[in-house]
Structure formats: C-alpha cells, structure tokens
Amino acid sequence: MDAVLYVCHGSRVKEGADQAVAFIERCKKNLDVPIQEVCFLELAYPTIEQGFEACIEQGATRIAIVPLLLLTAAHAKHDIPEEIHKVYERYPQVEVLYGEPFGVDERIVDILVERINETNVDKHEDSMVLLVGRGSSDPAVKKDFNEIAQLLKGKGAFKEVSTCYLAAAAPNLKEGLHLAKQTSYKQVFVLPYLLFTGILMNEIKEELEQLSTDDQQFILANYLGYHDGLAHILSHQVKTLLSSKGNQYDVYRYA
C-alpha cells in the first residue's frame, strides 16, 4: 500500500509549524493516496521517525518521502536522508522513494510577483527588490537563488533584484539592507523567499523597522505561504515520484 510522508522543516514559532500542517492538509485532497502523513525535520513534532512509523502502522509497503523545502541544500541532501536511514534499517522490507525540493521553478517566481503586488503599494518606476533567502554554504544553492532572482527581475519588470541571506551565506540581511539603503531607488520591496512564517520572518520585520525615509520606502512583502500553484507543483511531484522506478537507495543519491 502506498503512503506519502511530507517532511517539513519545523519552526520554533508554533504558527509556522501550524501553517505547514495546514498547507499539507489542503494538498492531500489533490492526491488519491490512502496514507498521507506530515512530519518535521526539527523543532516540531511528529519527527521523521514518528511519521515513518505512522505510515507503517497503517499498512504502508511503499513510502514516498517528500521534502517540503524550497531549494536543495544540506537538509535535503544529508539531514533528511540520515533520519530516513535510521528508521529504514528497522523496516528494510518497505520500499522508500525520496523526492526533491521545489527547486528553481518559474511558477514559484510568478507567486513571488503576486506577493509583491499584494502589498497594494503602487510600484514606482524607480524600484528594486531585495530577495531574502534562508541561506546555505552550498554553492549550488546560491547559484539557484541567483537564477530565481534573475527570473523575478524579468517577470516583475524590476530594474534590479538583489539577494541576501538570513544565515550561512553573504551578504547577510543587515548587509543586504545596507546595500539597498545606499542605492538611489525610491522603493525597496523586501521579499522573503520562505515557505512559512517563523523566527526568520520575525527577524526580517525587526531589521526593517525605522528604515523607510521620505526619500526611500522599504516595503515588506509576504512569504510564499499557501498558494494553489504551490499545491499543484507538490501534487505533481508526488505523482511523478510514485510512478517512478526508484527504490530505497534513492535516499543516498547525494552521498
């Protein structure tokens, strides 16, 4: 019997974890899979082990494990596979399929443009975007993030889209805001490339306080959150994974 185990990042902010669960609950309706469970890599419950065992207890013989992550960084390459391996050793008879994060996807960039438009601020012709990522020491992640920024620049018709990171990469948030402050742009749309709210979203809000002046406006857009487009992408990923010829060794492909 097939099962899907959605792996969310987790958050110290309860609202962030609740949003992740609500997102998955809405996505479940798009899939005709008898067993669908949600779990968290860290900071929230159930854990990956608990989620995996919940699938087994309901009779799962094949589990598609889907990381609900934006980009393929250490969590997707190492942390989640390590947790899967620990529990899989106890259930070697179960077939395990391991999916991919969202990655670079123009449909997600379209959602970013929507989030900027939803600020209800008339976009000045002299405006820029500061795209704020979670951050990673993996150079491939930075490459992907820069590609997303370029796609956003084209789709949103902005003169400039610069990037900064909340951790593990440069420039950091303070530096990114400082660099934006030094420009001549009248408007700076600060756009969090995050799935849900949490500590990192709060950090961005705190840094933005008192930055706007009469000559330069800083506008915080919303994080991605639930969107029908994201739900469609996720559902397609799950269906593709379940129709694949993968096996339990897929979790080691990043080794």
Where residue 26 sits, what CATH number does that domain have?
A: 3.40.50.1400
Nearest one of 187, 145, 199 to 169, comparing CA atoms: 145
Asked if 205 and 110 sit in the same domain, the reply is yes
The domain total for the chain is 2
Supply the pLDDT for residue 249.
46
Asked if 39 and 123 sit in the same domain, the reply is no
Burial (CB count within 10 angstroms: exposed 0-12, middle 13-18, buried 19+), residue 111: middle
Residues of the chain with pLDDT under 50: 247, 249, 254-255
SS3 217: strand
What are the start-end ranges of the E strands in the chain?
2-8, 35-40, 62-67, 95-98, 127-133, 160-165, 187-192, 217-220
Supply the pLDDT for residue 201.
86
Asked if 111 and 215 sit in the same domain, the reply is yes
Asked if 15 and 58 sit in the same domain, the reply is yes
Encode pLDDT of 67-80 as tens digits: 999 999 889 999 99
Asked if 152 and 203 sit in the same domain, the reply is yes
Q: Which amino acid is at 129?
A: V
Supply the pLDDT for residue 245.
65
Encode pLDDT of 135-194 as tens digits: 998 999 999 999 999 999 999 989 999 999 999 899 999 999 999 999 999 999 999 999
Asked if 96 and 117 sit in the same domain, the reply is no
Asked if 116 and 209 sit in the same domain, the reply is yes
Domain span at residue 183? 106-220
Q: Name residues whose C-beta falls within 8 Å of residue 11's C-beta, 6 or more positions apart in sequence.
A: 17, 20, 43, 44, 196, 197, 198, 199
DSSP summary character for residue 221: P
Asked if 208 and 241 sit in the same domain, the reply is no
Task: Report the alpha-carbon distance of residue 153 to residue 159 in Å, rounded.
Answer: 7
The dihedral sign for the CA sequence 45, 205, 110, 80: negative
Asked if 231 and 177 sit in the same domain, the reply is no
Asked if 63 and 38 sit in the same domain, the reply is yes
Q: Considering the entire predicted model, what is its pTM? A: 0.91
Q: Which two tokens stand for residue 137?
A: 């020491």
Asked if 79 and 18 sit in the same domain, the reply is yes
- The bridge status of strand 62-67 relative to strand 95-98 is parallel
Asked if 154 and 118 sit in the same domain, the reply is yes
Query: From the CB of residue 146, how many other CB atoms can be counted at a distance below 10 Å?
Result: 16
Q: 98 vs 4, 113, 129, 183, 247, CA distance in Å?
A: 10, 30, 34, 44, 8
